[in-house]
Structure 1
Amino acid sequence: MTTVAERSMGIGLKALRQIAALEVIDRVGLRGPAERALYSVTKNGMGAAASAGRTFTIVRGSGKPERARPASPKGVFDLTPDEDQQMIVEAMKEFAAAELRPVALAADTACAAPAELLASASELGLATLGVPEELGGSAAERSAVTGVLVAEALAHGDLGLAVATLATSAVPTALGLWGDADQQATYLPAFTGDEVAVSALAILEPRPLFDPFVLETKARPADGGGYVLDGVKSLVARAADAELFLVAAELQDRGPALFLVPTSGGGVSVTAEPAMGVRAAATATVAFDGVVLPEAALLGGADQDVYAECIHRARLAWCAVAVGASQAALDYLVPYVNERVAFGEPIANRQAVAFTVSDIAIETAGMRLATWRAASRADAGKDFFREAAVARQLCVKHGAEIGSSAVQLLGGHGYTKEYPVERWYRDLRTAGVYEGALLV
């Protein structure tokens, strides 16, 4: 029997205490390997002092960047997750139910995820989902579908905590997709070692009707080489803890581009910015004031196709967490409407209630299908921008409707924090206004 690391793109790569405690390990016959790994691997420190002193020194790579190989073609149109992906989904759902759901309300109230939870999520290897195996990561194949499945499963526990646990994987995923050999050698070791760096993808800006292809954050060539970065980004997940930002900025005379910005270089300031939803992700405003960057900070060579792909992959990730939260609402509502009695019968007997729940199930299935289809096209190397736009439109429109309907079906209960639907409503609204933070 192969291990989780061998069969599941490394989601169980570290096989530490949280994954070892999941019931799925017994069902797939991996209890022995998991316990042996638990015994042999040193517990992740995640020490604040160590990360605070981390610096990123430019390292010369091998000359050729490593890329995960393209996903194997299935030959037929089939979005059914394969055996490995199904095992990943089951494990992540159990982790979400056991670890995310119980602390979701407290994290939402505190506007921060518990440190213990973030450490446990780090131990699962989430930061290395998009890093090629040759560089110490988990990705044997390039698979946006797997990323979507993981995001959906975690959001079934809580959308805000899913963003908090997945946000730091966006930068290493981007480096795996578009980084050159020097960038990979410089930055990726910080995500594949025992003390995983916190990073953030910063795209959104604090203005109405934000367009990610028309940016007010500017980068200009610096005297003597490199770039100077100025601008403000908003709702950046876990920004206060971040050691490295991937920032979208308008590069003078070249269009929007992505820049790697370590926080240790100065000129970066972070201000807490709690929002209506996704509060557990500890969102903040990040200001860049005359930040001087080397030539090596430019990711993807300011290729406009790379930038567009980044935006659409980020939008797919948001679709995935919206699907997960919508499914959580559906799974909560079905037993509720069958058990809640009014006027001598379950409220599920009323057509208005039954039809609303039915609509939620239909729209969730449609959102999921559109998201998986777009991700599968990305894995096949086909143009997926149109499909990603369709998925996003469905998730923005119906995700908000599902959150609202969930609150309505619970009546007065739906408006109180005693029940989770009001939090899901606030979180689901985020998919329509957020750009960045996540990447598949």
Structure 2
Amino acid sequence: MLEEKEHLCHDDERSALMKIKNSFVIDKHASVYEGAYPKVLSWKYEGENTSCCSWDGIQCDEDSGHVIGLDLSSSFLSGSISSTSTLFSLIHLQTLNLADNHFNYSRIPPAIKQLSSLTYLNLSKSKFSGQVPFEISNLSKLSTLDLSFNVDPVTGIKFLKLKNPDLGSLVRNLNGLEILRLSHVDISSTVPDFLANFSSLTSLRLVNCELFGEFPANIFQLPNLQILNVGSNKNLTGYLPEFHKKTPLKILVLADTRFSGSLPFSIEKLDSLEELDVEECNFSSVIPSSLGKLGRLSYLYLGENNFSGYIPSSLHNLTQLTELYLYFNQITGPIPPSLGNLTKLRVLELSRNQLHGPFPESLSKLINLEYFNLVFNNLGGTVRFNMFFHMKNLTSLQLGFNNFSVVFEETNINETSPKFELLGLSSCNLYEFPAFLRHQNELE
């Protein structure tokens, strides 16, 4: 088989690849992925690797020998790509991955249109800048388009913009898309209604794109959509529709937008959900008890909204939950003792609500907690602090500004108590200095 593969490589394509290699310099700072390595160093004319089909990052068609795949992601490449690059002579390419390199803030060349057989194009995290070329809209066979995270990690400045063409013009002809990732591209437009007709979409990520206007509610009903993330678009409005049938959604993120209304009771239809994030929105009304039927949820983020009413006791059914954020709402009533059943919880954030009643002793069963915040509520009674000594991973505990008293019992388990980094006990009616604090060397 190796001998057959040696003869597959076409001379003109091998020559084109060598010119691509020589147009870049290898810079170890050009890629950030831990597993990055300079793939083009295996591209040589001499020795055992003379066939380009055996070079790292190259995939050839088994029958024709043409190069159909080029994966130079995380390859320490530094330089720019011009429209005259021999890259665009590889007209049989079906997949092109240049992610996680440094292309010196150059523009994406319009010559990309010559690669008309592309089904996969990934130019993410590669320091491209300027206007996204209209020519990408000619790549009608694309199933994956990823231009995300061309952004300064320190300042947040977006390098790519999508204004002429706008989002609608760019993707209108790409109706076979399955994955569309444009996070941190400056789009500054509304979300086109026709995306709701892209029935093949499985993943739509448009995070921090300066989107505005009302998000088309029908997109939530796409039959194959598994990931929808439009978070951090502060002027994007919308609402969650009623769900009349099950969908395969696994990740739904609307955080830091102006979505409003209520969480519909029919959200129980989204029974594949693993993450629901609507933090920092304008949702109101009660938290529906039907959330308790989403048994695959690992992450539930409802903080900084206007939710009211009680914490549904049905949440105790979410046994896969690892993070629960309900802070900064208008939630009242007691903490359901049944939350102690959520033994996989690592984060429990209930601060700045109107919770009252006693502190449930059953929460002592949350032995995997790392972060627990209850500040600024109206909880009363007595809290035995020793219950937290069973939580060996607990590094941040904030109990302050409630109406309960925290009491400490003399024990001999100081050496095995959690190593706190943050401990808040303000206004907890302490009558003595907690002896165990003498052993807490990690406190900030």
- Give the TM-score taking structure 2 as reference length: 0.22
Which protein is bigger by CA-based radius of gyration? 2
Give the structure, 1 or 2, with the largest relative contact order (CA under 8 Å, sep 6 or more): 1
Structure (1/2) with the larger helix percentage: 1
Structure (1/2) with the larger strand percentage: 2
